[in-house]
Amino acid sequence: MRFLKLKEVMQKIALSRSAIYRKMNDNNFPQSINLGDRAVALVDSEIDDWMEVCLGKRGIRK
């Protein structure tokens, strides 16, 4: 298991910070984990799973 900082997630999925937080608020994206007072991260495998679901909706399999 690996934690990704928000900046890494933004690069991985090509969405902006605000788009990611909007999806989190709508429960359409993995939730962040608080690592400290000013640090949050997301679980890499959860991001991969979310990407698979997005591809599945289009009928694309890896």
Q: Where are the domains of the chain?
A: 3-57
User: Residue 33 carries which side chain, given as an amino acid letter?
Assistant: I
Q: Are 19 and 55 in contact (CB under 8 A)?
A: no
CA–CA separation, 48 and 40 (whole Å)? 18
CA–CA separation, 57 and 16 (whole Å)? 21
Cα 58 to its chain centre, rounded Å, is: 18
Q: What is the pLDDT of residues 8-57, one digit of tens each?
A: 999 999 999 999 999 999 999 999 999 999 999 999 999 999 999 999 88
Which pLDDT score is estimated for 62?
60
Residue 60 — very low, low, confident or very high, per pLDDT cuts 50/70/90? low
| pTM of the entire predicted model | 0.86
